[in-house]
Each structure stands twice: as C-alpha cells, then as structure tokens.
Amino acid sequence: MQYKMLGNSGIKASVVAMGTWVTGGGLTWDGVEDKESLRAIDAALAAGVNFIDTAPGYGWGHAEEIIAKALKGRRDKVVIATKCGIWWEDNRGAFHAHLDGKDVYISLRPETIQIEVENSLRRLETDYIDLYQTHWPSKEPDLTPIEDTMACLMKLKDAGKIRAIGVSNVSLEQLEENGACGPVASDQFRYSMLYREPEAHILPYCRQKGLATLTYMSLEQGLLTGKIGMDRVFKETEFRSNADWNAWFKMENRVKVLKMLEGWSDLTEKYSCSLAQLVIAWTAAQPGVTHVLCGMRTAAQAADNAAAGSLHLDEAEVARMRADAIALGDPE
C-alpha cells in the first residue's frame, strides 16, 4: 500500500481509502448487513488501508456508528474523515433532497456545524476527527458566507476537535475562497475515467497548491469492475437505477463500457489483477490524484480494492486506457 500526506496537515493516509456510503445502508443501498460491514472494515485494515471516509448522511449516522464498533482498541491507527453540511434535524438550511423519507437540507451555518461535530464525535466514539469536510457547498436561499463557515471550522481545529479541514463538491472559485479564508488540506470530488471534468481546473489547482485530492465514484458505483452485466436490474430506491444520477448505467451505455473492459483482459493477465484493481490503479496514477475512495461492501471486495494500492501501471498502458475511455464519448 502506498501512503501520501493529506495536504499540509501532517497526516499520512493510504492512497486507497474506504468509502462508507454503502456501509450506512438504508433504501439507497439494498441488502447491506452490519456484520458484513464490520468484516469489510477489518479486511481493509488488514490489507493496509488506514483511511476511512464517512459522513452523517450515510445511513443517518449509522455508518459512523459501525466505524466506531470496528475501530475499538485501534482508533489511533486509522485516519477518519467525516463531513458536515447535510442537515435533517429541522428545516434550517437550503432544501437538498427527499431521501429515505426525510427532508434533507444543506446547512453550513456555524450553529448547525457545532451540533454536527458533537454528534459525529459521539457516534464515532472518539474525541477528535482527523479530517472534517464540508459535504456540499452552501447555497441559496440559505447561503452561509464561506468566511463564516471556515471561521467555525478553524475554531474546532484550535479546540482539538478536528485535525484538518477539507471541502467536497466545490467549484474552483469556492475552493479558492475557502483557501483564502483558512488552511484547507483536501478537496473531495467525483472523478473517474468516464467522468474527467476535474482535469480541466480542479486537479491542476490542487496539484499546484499541494492539496490532497479524494476522488469518489472512481469505479462508477461498480460499473467499472466489470461485475455489473447487462442483466443486472436495480431497485427503484437505489441510486444506480436513476439514469439522471449516472447515465452510464443505461443499457445503451453500459454495453459500451463492458466492451471496453473486455478489451483489457491482457492487462489484468499481465498484472495478475482484477478489473477493479486496474481501474483504481489507473485513477491513482493521474496527475494530482492523491487518494481514491472505494466502496467496500464485503471483506472480499475490501481486500481486492486495497490491493490496488500496491499496483503500478506502465505509462503506455495508462495512456492506452485513457484513450479507450475517451473513445466512448459522452453517455447517451
């Protein structure tokens, strides 16, 4: 496993990190069992992963509680990243979505952040959070100035409740403003070989400024593992059933992706790796990418994904895979 610094925080974290949206369960992810989630965390740690990313919104706090159970007696061995800004206790904030029967708001008000951090510390059964990230940027009609949010986060850092500050899902302009208001260690955003938009501005900026980058959906919610065939149908409650969320799951697009993946059988043979490992290693090899977040539903999946942290691809093959992905064009 490779390890890299989280920006200027002094925290060293595994290049392959465990994402825990699926760990939270709920209607969004069907059939997730806590026992299997605990085994998955154990397997990830055994394979060298020391970086776990979560959020209160993942199962409405349940993912954080599962992480606490898994890390009993070894909290100091793991870098925990969680988030603030997804709020459902009342209607403070700007309406975001209706999920699992709840009205969800985005609030980066200092008053709600103060409540959120205490809730996360309690659920995680810890007295500090290594990386505390804003989950989504504030928006109208409840726009909190970035300066106010950052001032609140810096107070939490000074108090020792958090060790480093990160942002997620922000524009370049918002990222720059956050950095102008205080020390930002990382930026988390969607990025994959099928979704390369951050290459235009975000990745070059982070590379220039020495910020850590945490990419999510780099396996396109499992599609790039090659294990989701044409016969796979998702329940209506699952995000993967929503073509507006990820058009690559449409049948006419899925068949193209599967054909591309089939064309890399020589690479999986050469490196004795799975397609998932190949794609994770490709993602980690991209300029500016420092950490790749991967969902790990089972122990086997955790061990497989973690092994990608030790896989180094030849430059020519990284370029070949990029060319193949570009050749797919945009999803229909």
Residues with catalytic annotation? 58
Whether residue 221 contacts residue 194, with contact meaning beta carbons closer than 8 Å, is answered with no
**Antiparallel, parallel or unpaired: β 162-168 and 129-134:** parallel
Gap between the Cα atoms of 105 and 88, Å rounded: 6
Gap between the Cα atoms of 271 and 58, Å rounded: 34
Which CA distances in Å does 290 have to 95, 135, 201, 285? 32, 19, 16, 9
Gap between the Cα atoms of 88 and 96, Å rounded: 10
Could you tell me the maximum CA-CA distance found in the chain, to the nearest angstrom? 55
Our measurement of the distance from residue 14's CA atom to the centroid of its chain's CA atoms, rounded to an integer in Å, reads 13
Residues found in the chain? 332
